[in-house]
Structure 1
Amino acid sequence: MIPLTAAMVTAFALVIGRNTFVAGLSWVVLSPALYPFVRYPRPGSLLTFDRLYLTALALALLFTRRSKRPNERSVRAFTIAVAVFAGVFLCRAVTTHSHTRGALQAFTDAILLPCIVFAVCRRTAGSPGRLRGWAAGLMVCGTCVALLGLTERLYGYELATLSGGVVRTDTEVGQIVRVSGPYANPEVYALTLALTLAATLFWWMSAHTGGPRRKALAAAVGPLTAAVQITGMALSMFRVAWACALLIVLLGFGLRAGKKLRLVALAVAVALAALALFVPLQDSDVFRARMGDTANVAGRFATYQVGLEIWRSAPVTGVGINQFVEAQRLVNPKVVWGVRSVESPHSSFVATLAEQGVIGFVALLAVCGCGTRMLRRLGRAARGDATCQVLHAAVIAGALSYLAFSVELTMLPQGPSNAVLAVLLGMAAATVEMTRQRPVAGGATSMGPSRVVRAPRAERVS
């Protein structure tokens, strides 16, 4: 199987290398539908759709000549930080004895494949039209994921077991089954919808730069797809997903350079809308149970203390990838507000500190810091371009949503949501590199190809 698969992937890479932009969009659209089904063999799922397709995309990038890009420091620093963190993760995965295979699979799905997606998006999103194309692909992806979740709730089927997970039943809210869409767990489902919602708002709001047909299409499709994705997030039963839905709407519509009053006015409107929904939802037993569940929060705080104890046992390199639960058995359980710790790190940062030690944790913080620097550079470029402003707001909303999920849930080892985040960051990186070349009034920059401005003939020096 290995030589046959390698030959097929290489041949496919030669085909899609002619147009990696279309190939990348095809992956974004097809991945939600094929993620649970394209797996071989079934007990181990060594070959999956994402692994095969993105490996072919990586080969296609190697086969094609890269066009010369401006040397943007913030993008280069972010790329280096990601590469360093990936190297640290890989080294710790290889040195995780007796569980090396599972650790390498986690590295492949959660780190390597998103890096490929980021590289593909960064290289191919070289114009405003292609930025909208990537956003449209994420919009279709999020709508497909939301519809799968909605139909799971309506018709009672599930795809979690096909994706390598288990069906999760919430005993605290009346034995309700958590929908997970095409993914293995509901956390990835909710976070993916949050990220695609941010991209949908960018596609919708950036249509003002086009003609009447584009505006009419965006006015018809944008609100509908956003409503479907928000409904899917509401059914995920995660409080952080509910909060992120409000945050994304607030930033996506209200965050604009030099328009603070717009953000304040929209914040008031979103708060009033949330209050209007909160009052009638008080009659729902499920909603009251979720909002009043303080034991869940206490259990997380207790687990964070356990994570610190695990880190103290191996402060430099950690206990190994995916070894938090195993190491937790050697630590006395903690109790906060009468609630014991749970068997999960419940935080990407706590999990990284415990499993990779100070080295991995510092590398992760470097990625966060360099990513913040790149988004600040995008914000400065957005002052002179309306499309940049909308993209900046969408990427900020998506990044904050990912951060909110990662603080209280272990999202870093999850591949699908990391790949969607990589698309958003790739769009941001490509835009920063585009806007570096061409200055406009006020020292800002404008999206578009670079142009050399010549001095008048009388001012030229021979």
Structure 2
Amino acid sequence: MTAHTAPLAAMRVPRRPSWLIAVTVATVGIPPGPDAFGPGVQITAGDVAGLALVLVAAFLLVTGRVQMPRAALPAFGPLVVGLGISTVCSADITASLAGFVRNTQIFVLVPLAVVLLVRDRRDLTIVCSSLLGLGLAEAGYGIWQSATGNGASIGGENIRAVGTFGALDVMAMSIVVGFAFLILTAFALTAPRRGAAAVPAALIGLVVLAVALALALSRGTWIALGAAAVLTMVLFDRWTAVKVLACCAALLVVVVTVGGGGQAVAERSSSMVASISQPDQSVDDRYNLWAAALRIWEDHPVTGVGVKNFPAYRDTYASIGLSSGSETDDSVNGYVRQPLLSPHNEYLLFLSEQGVVGLAGFGALFGVLLAGLWRRRRPRDPLWLAGVGLLTFLLVNFVYADMGGPTCVLTAIVMGAIGARAFGTVRE
């Protein structure tokens, strides 16, 4: 031990640093306030807790208590290189520097910290349990919001469940609850081996989460969650998947036909079918943003226009039909008109701001995660099933949404949990 590492070695770290990850997950549910949204750099409680995770992981790495997994370089290296190249070649380097730091935090530092802090199955179970706990808490609050008219406004009624995140980030609660739903689904499939009481408890939790997801009225999350949940069940057992889907169909009928938000759920569901031929204003704006992102990439194919520069180019490339902003309203924040700062598609955001270089780095990260899960496949392992479900959810959800708001750190933790299982660093 050198003189430089001796002071670090004197620092005390919890026996299970995974509890620090659980605390970080809990901080995501702290109401962010209106300053956490909009242009510029916003720092939330989750960001501060995420920084603490990175520092603890760095300390353990420097003192030799943990080792960097071999899969870390091919997973995170290309993404960092792509970020660096697009930042150097940016049309506005000053703006892109902040984006470089933010993207490195969310896609590299926090996930890698989670990989280093999760050492065995108990650690990974602690992380998954914290995600499940946050999801259930947000689901319960969201159901109360919808039942009492304290949610976000839709169709003139404040019945949309948004949890502690408020109307300024209407998709956040559905993403958090979606994570929890997939984790509980993975554990529910293997619940019979854990005792008779585990099955009804898991089913009650799934019902609560499902109701909250329905009342969140987030169509993109519904699609991503449906794809992820079906894949998880099919990988576990095809016959089980058929029976569960039949029960879910019956539950959907109940949710649509009863409750204060039932009509809104039915209308929102039918709008998914009409989104291709007769899109509403929200969907039409998304199509226009996607088209603008593609046009930006066509003019800047290799390195893009630089991280955080999409808003500066949006109006130049968007059609005249694009709205000037999205409207939100709830009892806490009131009426707010938010600017459209991204294409609402993570792949097109990378493509327009970082070009094919950045998208290749992004693809490398998820390619390594997919390959690692496939090599270490264990369909009867709930942690493996949860990893597959969460990764599928992210990949599909990125088609309709991108990273933003208080849930960025939570998504980074989820990627880290997937990486811990995919990299093979979790001891049995």
Output the TM-score relative to the length of structure 1: 0.70
Alignment-derived partner of residue 164 in structure 2: 182
Give the letter for the 2:52 counterpart.
Answer: A
What corresponds to 1:377 in structure 2?
375
Partner of 2:181: 197
Count of aligned pairs between the two proteins: 392
**Residue of structure 2 in register with 1:306 after alignment:** 292
Instruction: Tell me the distance in 2 between the aligned counterparts of 1:94 and 1:189.
Output: 35
Segment of structure 1 superposing worse, 90-99 or 144-153: 90-99
Matched with 1:60 is 56
**Which residue of structure 1 lines up, in the alignment, with residue 80 of structure 2?**
86
Q: How does 1:26-425 map to 2 (within 5 A)?
A: 26-28=23-25, 30-34=26-30, 36=32, 47-64=43-60, 65-66=63-64, 76-77=70-71, 79-93=73-87, 96=90, 100=94, 103-113=96-106, 115-154=108-147, 169-170=153-154, 173-174=155-156, 176=158, 178-183=160-165, 184-207=168-191, 210=194, 212=195, 216=197, 218-219=198-199, 221-256=201-236, 259-271=237-249, 274=252, 284=263, 287-288=266-267, 291-292=270-271, 293-294=274-275, 295-296=279-280, 297-331=283-317, 333=319, 343=340, 344-379=342-377, 382=378, 386=380, 388=381, 390-411=382-403, 415-425=408-418
Offset of residue 108 of structure 1: 4.4
What displacement does 1:360 show? 0.8
Paired residues of 1:198 and 1:394 also in contact (CA < 8 A): yes
Q: Does the CA contact (< 8 Å) of 1:93 and 1:321 recur in 2?
A: yes
Change (3 A) 1:261 1:93: same
1:359 Cα shift? 1.0
Provide closer, same or farther for how the CA distance between residues 220 and 39 of structure 1 changes in structure 2, counting only shifts above 3 A.
Answer: farther
Is the alpha carbon distance of 1:400 and 1:225 closer, same or farther for their aligned partners in structure 2, counting shifts above 3 Å?
same
Q: Do the aligned partners of 2:74 and 2:364 also contact (CA within 8 Å) in 1?
A: no
Tell me the distance in 1 between the aligned counterparts of 2:262 and 2:143: 22
- Decide whether aligned partners of structure 1 residues 363 and 26 sit closer, same or farther in structure 2, where only a CA change above 3 A counts: same
Question: Residue 236 of structure 1 aligns to which amino acid in structure 2?
Answer: A
Determine which structure has greater relative contact order: mean sequence separation of CA pairs < 8 Å that are 6+ residues apart, divided by chain length: 2
Q: Aligned runs of 1:410-449 on 2, under 5 Å?
A: 410-411=402-403, 415-429=408-422, 432-434=424-426, 448=428
What is the CA-CA distance between 1:221 and the residue it aligns to?
Answer: 4.1
Please state whether the residue corresponding to 1:330 is helix, strand or coil. helix
- Residues 1:197 and 1:157: Cα distance change in structure 2 (over 3 Å): same
> Could you tell me how far 1:318 is from its partner in structure 2?
1.0
Following superposition, the deviation at residue 327 of structure 1 comes to 0.9
State the SS of the aligned residue for 1:329: helix
Letter in 2 for 1:305: A
1:206–1:78 distance in 2 versus 1, CA, 3 Å: farther
| Change in 2 beyond 3 A, CA 1:44/1:285 | closer
Query: One-letter code of the match for 1:198?
Result: L
Provide the rounded CA distance (Å) in 2 between the counterparts of 1:352 and 1:199: 28
* Residues 8-66 of structure 1, C-alpha deviations (whole Å, 9 max, x = no match): xx99x9444554122222222x21343527999x9987653223222222222222244
Residues 17 and 63 of structure 1 are in contact (CA less than 8 Å); yes or no, is this contact kept in structure 2? no
TM-score between both structures, scaled by the size of structure 2? 0.75
3-state SS, counterpart of residue 162 of structure 2? coil
Deviates further, 354-363 or 287-296: 287-296
Amino acid at match of 1:20: P
In angstroms, what is the RMSD of aligned CA positions? 4.0
Residue identity in the other structure for 2:127: W
User: Structure 2 vs 1, CA of residues 270 and 299 (structure 1 numbering), >3 Å: closer, same or farther?
Assistant: same
Q: Verify the 8 A CA contact 1:178 1:237 in the aligned structure 2.
A: yes
Is contact 2:185–2:206 with CA below 8 Å preserved after alignment? Answer: yes
Shift of 1:90: 4.9
TM-superposition CA deviations, 1:207-247 (whole Å, max 9, x none): 5555x5xx63x345433333332222212211232334444
Aligned-partner Cα distance in 1 for 2:410–2:171: 9
Whether contact under 8 Å (2:288, 2:318) holds in the other structure is no
Tell me how far apart the structure 2 counterparts of residues 329 and 288 of structure 1 sit (CA, whole Å): 31
Note the C-alpha offset of 1:149. Answer: 2.8
Query: 1:128, CA displacement in angstroms?
Result: 2.8
Q: 1:43 to 1:409 in 2, by over 3 A?
A: closer
2:6 aligned with 1:24: no
Mapped to 2, the partners of 1:232 and 1:411 lie a distance apart of 22
User: Which structure 2 residue ranges, 5 or more long, are not aligned?
Assistant: 1-6, 326-339
Change (3 A) 1:154 1:63: same
8 Å Cα contact 2:211/2:255 also seen in 1: no
Q: 1:307 to 1:361 in 2, by over 3 A?
A: same
